[in-house]
């Protein structure tokens, strides 16, 4: 069995229960500027879980592409990947626990023929402070399902992970109660962390037991939620029935939903009884790498790690580039760059022959072609993007090495290591290796702090804050941001090409824009500029992005200030009408609406004044 077979079987299993099949949403959330990537199956379905009517009905099934950027550095062991697929079935106020647990159990034990003896489940232990009790309903359902398969069904109260490791498991126990830390699901985790308006609920997870001895480094005794590798969570049925109130209490949602998520690759691990995610779900990539190097997967720890990193990172990069996310220094593109650069370095270590990392695109395209035909269709484009980044990386590396040689003393400070990482693309391990060769050490603690600060920033997407002057990336702010581009284009049209941006600050309520111009702007010009912006809003123009080399963008007359702050490659946003009229073309880091038709309201300039010598300031709003 491979990934394709399991995906097919799952979809068919739920189709037989009247579920409509929905396609995977894209890896970059479409209407959610708060996160960079889709990291779970439920993310694209949030509006429907909150009550919006889904066009396909109340029973849905899918396999969602997911990318978790936070796991990049973890990749290399036997269980972490950045890209994976999450099988999902959804009840939008339709069926409930009895159907869900029975259907998923029969999928695992009848369809996939997993050994029922190896399956263990967890349920919510309840939380008095929330007034939400133990999930005894799920326990009863599980007990009858286990009885049908003639396996034991004793229950045990574990509580926290720590308590679980102290207590351990006894013979016959199969159903374990854990607290909210483990058996409550929401996008923001435990109930206490959920913001008002966020949906969540208790869940019941299914674990597969491998033939792996417990490792006491992870706790005294083993238990389903122990991280030693003996147990692996392969599915999670979330009973999405609560909504957080403003005052911190919970109310039940008007419709009670089921959100099931199961890692496709993990399920393949269980089916093949192999506790190594890369060996089973990246097999064709591993085979390709073995053919093109004189190394074998499993030769030694370092080699195995290199295989895993190349396979995972290239797979993720291929899927992201196929969605139009090219390597860059900002936002999503930054992660694509990191993935490729890390893969290139490990490919060098293995001595991959014949085209380097770009040549790894083909086995990936072959592997996924039937389900994701856009990947083979865009293969050449993807290969070119990888090859281009590979080349750039080598140039930067050479510059980075010169930078490294300048470091004196016996310690590479965390700041220096971070500079090498962020500006010269040096993965941390490389700085460490170079340091060791020269008898130096690296201040890893300080590096981690620098890294953490940076990650927090990019995760929140708030890099945008200072780049484009945005206070947040909410919908209103995004609309006003696109208006800001049109405003500048209008000003340049009527006041001349000498006008450039001098500053920008946007809140959900208004935009404030500073620009270079020596005198007061006459009212009739302001009227024309306003009309120009409104014309573009009513014309429903597309907002298009391309990534260009900085010099090329300058040559093409792309508008932009602060060129020096941008990387070698820049993102250019153009507002273009159906008939090809370009209303604005500007350097930017986003976010923007996809079409000016999404902008609600009429654009209105409310004030024009002096800001400082040679700089004017406009405040404008979108009037309902
Ligand atoms: N939302 C749950 C998860 O991501 C189940 O889909 O685990």
Express each pLDDT in 259-306 by its tens digit: 999 999 999 999 999 999 999 999 999 999 999 999 999 999 999 999
- The residue whose CA has the least distance to atom 1 of ligand 1 is 42
Give distance in angstroms: CA of 17 to centre of ligand 1.
20
- When mean pLDDT is compared across 89-103, 160-174, 495-509, 527-541, the lowest value belongs to 495-509
2-29 as b/e: b if 16+ CB within 10 A: ebeebbebbbebbeeeebbebebbbbbb
pLDDT score, position 424: 80
pLDDT score, position 464: 36
pLDDT-derived band of residue 557, with 50, 70 and 90 as boundaries? Answer: confident
Considering 224, 246, 277, which residue would you say is the last residue of a domain?
Answer: 277
H helical segments located in 149-239: 161-167, 180-183
- The residue whose CA has the least distance to atom 2 of ligand 1 is 261
- The residue whose CA has the least distance to atom 7 of ligand 1 is 261
The answer, yes or no, to whether any atom of ligand 1 lies below 6 A from the CB of 40, is yes
**Does residue 378 belong to any structural domain of this protein?**
no
CATH of the domain at 188: 3.30.930.10
pLDDT digits (tens, 9 = 90+) for 501-535: 988 888 888 899 999 999 999 999 999 999 999 99
- The residue whose CA has the least distance to atom 3 of ligand 1 is 261
What is the total count of domains within the chain? 2
Give distance in angstroms: CA of 241 to centre of ligand 1.
14
Give distance in angstroms: CA of 189 to centre of ligand 1.
11
Measuring CA to CA, how many Å separate 110 from each of 116, 171, 374? 10, 24, 33
| Structure token digits, residue 470 | 């945005």
- Report helix, strand or coil for 88: strand
The answer, yes or no, to whether any atom of ligand 1 lies below 6 A from the CB of 42, is yes
The answer, yes or no, to whether any atom of ligand 1 lies below 6 A from the CB of 91, is no
**Does residue 162 belong to any structural domain of this protein?**
yes
Q: Which of 38, 42, 62, 104 to mutate to test the pocket of ligand 1 (most atoms within 8 A of CB)?
A: 42
**Does residue 20 belong to any structural domain of this protein?**
yes
For the CA of 88, the closest atom of ligand 1 is: 6
Report DSSP state, residue 69. Answer: G
CA-based torsion, 561, 566, 572, 573: positive or negative: negative
Considering 258, 277, 296, which residue would you say is the last residue of a domain?
Answer: 277
Give distance in angstroms: CA of 260 to centre of ligand 1.
6
The answer, yes or no, to whether any atom of ligand 1 lies below 6 A from the CB of 185, is yes
For the CA of 41, the closest atom of ligand 1 is: 6
**Does residue 456 belong to any structural domain of this protein?**
no
Please give the angle made by the CA atoms of 209, 213 and 219, to the nearest 5 degrees: 95
**Does residue 351 belong to any structural domain of this protein?**
no
**Does residue 495 belong to any structural domain of this protein?**
yes
Give distance in angstroms: CA of 41 to centre of ligand 1.
6
CATH of the domain at 520: 3.30.980.10
Residue 143 belongs to domain spanning: 3-277
Give distance in angstroms: CA of 185 to centre of ligand 1.
7
The answer, yes or no, to whether any atom of ligand 1 lies below 6 A from the CB of 591, is no
**Does residue 316 belong to any structural domain of this protein?**
no
Considering 242, 277, 312, which residue would you say is the last residue of a domain?
Answer: 277
**Does residue 429 belong to any structural domain of this protein?**
no
Q: What percent of the chain has pLDDT over 70?
A: 95
């Amino acid at each position: 069995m491979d990934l394709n077979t399991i995906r097919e079987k799952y979809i068919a299993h739920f189709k037989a229960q009247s579920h409509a099949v929905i396609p995977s949403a894209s890896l970059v959330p479409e209407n959610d500027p708060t996160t960079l990537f889709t990291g779970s199956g439920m993310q694209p379905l949030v509006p429907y879980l909150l009550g919006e009517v889904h066009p396909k009905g109340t029973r849905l099934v899918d396999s969602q592409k997911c990318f978790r950027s936070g796991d990049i550095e973890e990749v290399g062991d036997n269980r972490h990947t950045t890209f994976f697929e999450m099988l999902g079935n959804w009840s939008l106020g339709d069926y409930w626990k009895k159907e869900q647990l029975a259907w998923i159990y029969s999928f695992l034990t009848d369809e996939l023929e997993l050994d029922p003896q190896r399956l263990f489940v967890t349920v919510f232990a309840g939380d008095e402070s929330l007034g939400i009790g133990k999930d005894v309903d799920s326990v009863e359902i599980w007990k009858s399902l286990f009885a049908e398969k003639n396996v034991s069904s004793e229950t045990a109260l574990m509580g926290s992970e720590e308590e679980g490791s102290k207590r351990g498991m006894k013979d016959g126990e199969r159903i374990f109660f854990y607290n909210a830390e483990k058996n409550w699901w929401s996008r923001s985790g435990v109930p206490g962390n959920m913001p008002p308006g966020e949906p969540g609920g208790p869940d019941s997870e299914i674990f597969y037991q491998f033939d792996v001895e417990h490792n006491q480094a992870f706790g005294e005794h083993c238990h389903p939620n122990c991280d030693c590798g003996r147990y692996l969570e392969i599915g999670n049925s979330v009973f999405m029935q609560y909504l957080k109130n403003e005052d911190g209490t919970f109310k039940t949602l008007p419709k009670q939903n089921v959100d099931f998520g199961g890692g496709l690759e993990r399920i393949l691990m269980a089916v093949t009884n192999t506790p190594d995610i890369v060996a089973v779900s990246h097999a064709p990539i591993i085979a390709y790498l073995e053919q093109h190097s004189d190394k074998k997967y499993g030769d030694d720890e370092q080699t195995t790690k290199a295989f895993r990193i190349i396979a995972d990172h290239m797979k993720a990069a291929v899927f992201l580039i196929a969605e139009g996310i090219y390597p860059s220094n900002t936002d999503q593109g930054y992660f694509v760059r990191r993935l490729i650069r890390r893969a290139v370095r490990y490919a060098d270590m293995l001595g991959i022959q014949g085209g380097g990392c770009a040549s790894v695109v083909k086995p990936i395209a072959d592997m996924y072609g039937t389900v994701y035909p856009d990947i083979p269709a865009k293969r050449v484009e993807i290969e070119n993007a990888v090859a281009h980044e590979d080349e750039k990386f080598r140039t930067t590396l050479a510059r980075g090495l010169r930078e490294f040689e300048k470091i004196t003393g016996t310690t590479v400070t965390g700041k220096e290591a971070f500079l090498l990482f962020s500006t010269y693309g040096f993965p941390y391990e490389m700085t460490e290796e170079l340091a060791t060769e020269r008898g130096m050490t690296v201040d890893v603690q300080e590096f981690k702090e620098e890294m953490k600060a940076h990650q927090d920033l990019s995760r929140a997407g708030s890099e945008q804050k200072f780049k484009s002057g945005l206070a947040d990336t909410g919908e209103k702010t995004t609309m006003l941001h696109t208006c800001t581009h049109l405003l500048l284009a209008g000003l340049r049209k009527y006041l001349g090409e000498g006008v450039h941006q001098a500053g920008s600050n946007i809140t959900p309520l208004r935009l404030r824009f500073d620009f270079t111009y020596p005198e007061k702007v006459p009212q009739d010009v302001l009227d024309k500029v306003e009309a120009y912006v409104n014309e573009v809003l009513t014309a429903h123009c597309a907002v298009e992005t391309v990534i260009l080399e900085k010099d090329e963008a300058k040559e093409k007359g792309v508008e932009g200030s602060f060129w020096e702050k941008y990387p070698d490659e820049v993102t250019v946003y153009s507002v273009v009408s159906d008939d090809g009229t370009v209303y604005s073309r500007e350097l930017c880091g986003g976010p923007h609406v996809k079409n000016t038709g999404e902008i609600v309201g009429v654009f209105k300039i409310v004030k024009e004044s002096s800001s400082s010598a040679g700089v004017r300031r406009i405040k404008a709003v979108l009037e309902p």
